[in-house]
Amino acid sequence: MAVGPTPPRSGSVRRVVARVAPAVVWAAVIFTLSAQPSLATPSALVVELLRRGGWPPEAYQYVDFGLRKTAHFTEYAILAVLIQHALGLAAGWSAERRLLVAWGLAALYAISDEFHQSFVPGRTPAATDVLIDACGALAGLLLCRVALRWWAGHRAPPALSHSQSR
């Protein structure tokens, strides 16, 4: 009788997939967005919204630039939080270790993303984008940590059972 590793139970496989898949899917979304050729001018939607808002045409490219950098910041904030969620599978790791590893992995992905962009027509890698991405990842992780601590402190106390209320 051959003895080998026991196959994982279906419940544990579902648990792993539920924890890891969101980060993998979000990383794929980032990769797909990075594969899009860069637009040299602000998007038509941004121009139309600013025009309707009475903004001068000189402001269009600056607002578009700010929106693009905000998107970088936000997409990596989300990625880092999803990575940290996946790292919840690492039994025995402290919350601080998961936070640092999640931040490091998100920053490494940002570097690889900029490298990927060097092969996309009209896109160029930028160290400033890596910095923005890494700051977004850290901000997302810290915001998540603060929100979870707040939530834990503000949850309603458990209801008293019938025997305790007498």
Domain locations in the chain as residue ranges: 16-37+73-152
> What is the pLDDT at residue 58?
85
Indicate if the pLDDT at residue 113 is higher than 90.
yes
Of the candidates 40, 67, 39, 64, the one whose C-alpha atom is nearest the C-alpha of residue 51 is 64
Contact between residue 105 and residue 76 where contact means Cβ atoms under 8 Å apart:
no
> What is the pLDDT at residue 39?
61
Measured distance CA(54)–CA(41) in Å, rounded: 19
> What is the pLDDT at residue 43?
75
> What is the pLDDT at residue 51?
87
Indicate if the pLDDT at residue 34 is higher than 80.
yes
Instruction: State the pLDDT confidence band at 158, using cuts at 50, 70 and 90.
Output: low
